[in-house]
Amino acid sequence: MTRNRINATDMSIETTYNPKKPGTLILGASEFKVADLRDDVLQYDFKASMRFLEAKGKILFGRHFKIHVEDHELLYKLVTYFIEDKRVANKFKIDLNKGILLSGPVGCGKTTLMRLLPHLVPHKRHYQTSLMPCRNIVFGFNNLGYKIIEDYADNKPYCFDDLGVEPIGRHYGKDCNVMGEILITRYDVIMNQKLSHRAQSRCHITTNLNSNEIENRYGERVRSRMRELFNLISFSSVSKDKRG
Ligand SMILES: Nc1ncnc2c1ncn2[C@@H]1O[C@H](COP(=O)(O)OP(=O)(O)O)[C@@H](O)[C@H]1O
Ligand SMILES: [Mg+2]
């Protein structure tokens, strides 16, 4: 019997999607059948998706990576969102035109999941997000000023990582709540788009803050716009730190 092995240190293995075999993802020498094509719709199998994500996670993050059973419920929602299952999304009150605000305690795996999940849908280009640590955005603002806020007001699908840990921005002696301004600017851009285009410019956020803390830090003006931009998906507040 031949066995497929995944080299956990090889970061170069990309997930590939073979249009001739819809629902099958290829990872190095392994194939993962994650979905069946029925009536032109890919029906994903949750357990098979978890097997794929665990294998991909080991490649991206190291052999210690595993899918934790206690995260299944949360992963079910995230998978629903990424595969765009409208029926289940309705059930969970997830709006596919909005982004995801993934919240939870430090170290529970938010950033890791936002890096991992896009690999389940390599054929959906607008799901391939670029992760931007909020701290780095503020450092950029401190150097370059308001240009940075304009730069993030485009319609690229960013994931703003770790909202709430960034310091207040300061450029030429003037203070600015940089992430708050970016979110308000993006809100205006997105709301001026047709509904059918909004899904393309969604952005996502990871944060350790809860809703009250977000409001205290960014104010009601930002908080209320965030409600319209994001689906809140939360780890349990007692989720353990996964740092080994
Ligand atoms: N499912 C997992 N299995 C094993 N290790 C994990 C898992 N999720 C995250 N980790 C590890 O735990 C640490 C924290 O994960 P991270 O995604 O940065 O957490 P957060 O963004 O919620 O603070 C990282 O070192 C990461 O590699
Ligand atoms: Mg993080």
Our answer on whether the CB atom of 122 is closer than 6 Å to any ligand 1 atom is no
* Ligand 1, atom nearest to 104 Cα: 22
* Ligand 1, atom nearest to 161 Cα: 21
Element (H, E) at 185: helix 178-191
pLDDT of residue 7 exceeding 90 = no
pLDDT of residue 220 exceeding 90 = yes
Q: Could you tell me the distance, in angstroms and rounded to a whole number, from the CA of residue 145 to the centre of ligand 1?
A: 32
Our answer on whether the CB atom of 65 is closer than 6 Å to any ligand 1 atom is yes
Our answer on whether the CB atom of 111 is closer than 6 Å to any ligand 1 atom is yes
Q: Could you tell me the distance, in angstroms and rounded to a whole number, from the CA of residue 142 to the centre of ligand 1?
A: 29
Q: Report pLDDT for 242.
A: 93
181 to each of 61, 78, 145, 151, 208, how far by Cα in Å?
Answer: 33, 27, 12, 12, 19
Q: Which protein residue has the closest C-alpha to ligand 1 atom 16?
A: 109
Q: Could you tell me the distance, in angstroms and rounded to a whole number, from the CA of residue 19 to the centre of ligand 2?
A: 33
Q: Report pLDDT for 3.
A: 52
- 157 three-class SS: coil
Our answer on whether the CB atom of 110 is closer than 6 Å to any ligand 1 atom is yes
Q: Report pLDDT for 20.
A: 81
Q: Report pLDDT for 5.
A: 47
222 to each of 4, 94, 235, 240, how far by Cα in Å?
Answer: 49, 20, 22, 29
Our answer on whether the CB atom of 107 is closer than 6 Å to any ligand 1 atom is yes
Our answer on whether the CB atom of 119 is closer than 6 Å to any ligand 1 atom is no
| Tens-digit pLDDT profile for residues 40-77 | 889 999 999 999 999 999 999 999 999 999 999 999 99
Q: Report pLDDT for 154.
A: 81
Side chain identity, residue 65: F
CA angle centred on 122, ends 87 and 20, rounded to 5°: 90
Average pLDDT, the chain: 90
Task: Give the number of the ligand closest to the Cα of residue 58.
Answer: 1
pLDDT of residue 197 exceeding 90 = no
Q: Could you tell me the distance, in angstroms and rounded to a whole number, from the CA of residue 109 to the centre of ligand 2?
A: 7
* Ligand 1, atom nearest to 206 Cα: 21
Q: Work out whether strand 15-17 and strand 230-234 pair parallel, antiparallel, or are unpaired.
A: unpaired
Every domain of the chain with CATH number 3.40.50.300 lies at 95-244
| Tens-digit pLDDT profile for residues 84-102 | 999 999 999 999 999 999 9
pLDDT category of residue 199 using cuts at 50, 70 and 90: confident
pLDDT of residue 14 exceeding 90 = no
Of the two residues 127 and 167, the one the predictor is more confident about is 167
pLDDT category of residue 193 using cuts at 50, 70 and 90: confident
| Tens-digit pLDDT profile for residues 149-170 | 999 988 788 999 999 999 999 9
pLDDT category of residue 137 using cuts at 50, 70 and 90: very high
Report the topology of domain 95-244. Rossmann fold (3.40.50)
Q: Could you tell me the distance, in angstroms and rounded to a whole number, from the CA of residue 242 to the centre of ligand 1?
A: 5
Q: Which protein residue has the closest C-alpha to ligand 1 atom 24?
A: 243
| Tens-digit pLDDT profile for residues 97-122 | 999 999 999 999 999 999 999 999 98
